[in-house]
Amino acid sequence: MPTPQPGIFALGTRSHHHLELDLAPGADRAAVVAALGALREPRVTSGAANLVIGFGSSAWTLVAPGEPPAGSGPFTELVGRDGHRAPATQHDVWAWIHGSGTDTVLDCAVAVAGALAGVATVADETPCFVYHDSRDLTGFVDGTANPSPTAAPAVACVPDGRTGAGGSHVLAQRWVHDLTSFSRLRVDDQEAVIGRTKPDSVALPGDTRPSDSHISRAEVHDDQGRERPVYRRSTPFGTVAERGLFFLAFSAERDRFDQMLGSMYGTEGREQRDRLLDFSRPVTGSYYFAPSVEDLVALGANAG
């Protein structure tokens, strides 16, 4: 399989920064590809920060003409039960920078924005961090059921023989928590919302776990009852005024995200929705494709 971007799977980093950019109107392929090539220069890559680049479907079609990966397309607004909605704020380019220190990560984010300044502008920006022992700001461990490091590439990356092999479909959303309301719940009620115990992140038994708990609604299966997992790399963000989670997930197939969100929001005839939506709401939503290292290198080789 072609090589996935290594930053997708690099673990142990505590400082994260997300940039979402819009291409300038009329930007041509040669200019965009030249700017992307600058992301490999030392001024961007120095400092031991990981950099992952993804493209919205229209931007990827511009820079890599040809058949797009199966399922490619922009994020569209989702309206679910009880008025809950997932807004669409699709952008053209997404950059995820993460490393061991806020200083080096910020330096790299500034360099990325500078390298693309001639062809794109920063439309949204979210600095994030690892909170204690990888907990969400609700106090629950995030990503407990993630696939193991050895299994993650098969979950996250398009397999050999398919268009975009080695690349990954990406869902990026910024969720804002209502921590005041959530904290008013007793711990056992909080656990019923999430579907896991709070201190040690053990899944509640199936016969006692509410069917509208978060893990019940976010875990989806195929027609044979096999789980369709995604690989999560979410991190909290926050100030005194606003706190939440930058939800970031990778998948070999884009429709796993569509199925997961449909289950959470109770769309398409589903009888239930995720109770977590009473305490957290997304304010952004974009789909991206993070191509393989070889496909990124090929962009520069085929420039012109």
Q: Is the pLDDT of residue 303 over 60?
A: no
Mean pLDDT of the chain: 94
pLDDT at 301: 60
Reported confidence tier of residue 299, pLDDT bands at 50, 70, 90? confident
Q: Residue 176: which of 281, 80, 303 has the closest Cα? A: 281
Write out pLDDT tens, residues 151-206: 999 999 999 999 999 999 999 999 999 999 999 999 999 999 999 999 999 999 98
Quickly list DSSP for 176-240: EE-HHHHHTS-HHHHHHHHTB-TTT-PBPPTTTS-TTSHHHHH--B-TTS-B---EE--EEEE-S
- Cα distances from 164 to residues 21, 140, 173, 289, in angstroms, run 22, 35, 23, 9
Query: What distance in Å separates the CA atoms of residue 281 and residue 86, rounded to the nearest whole number?
Result: 8
Q: Residue 236: which of 89, 18, 48 has the closest Cα? A: 18
Annotated catalytic, 142? yes
Amino acid identity, position 191: E
Task: Please identify which of the residues 92, 142, 258, 295 carries the catalytic annotation.
Answer: 142
Q: Is the pLDDT of residue 279 over 70?
A: yes
Query: What distance in Å separates the CA atoms of residue 231 and residue 87, rounded to the nearest whole number?
Result: 22
pTM over 0.85: yes
pLDDT at 66: 83
Q: Is the pLDDT of residue 14 over 80?
A: yes
Q: What percent of the chain has pLDDT over 70?
A: 96
- Cα distances from 172 to residues 86, 169, 284, in angstroms, run 12, 10, 8
Reported confidence tier of residue 270, pLDDT bands at 50, 70, 90? confident
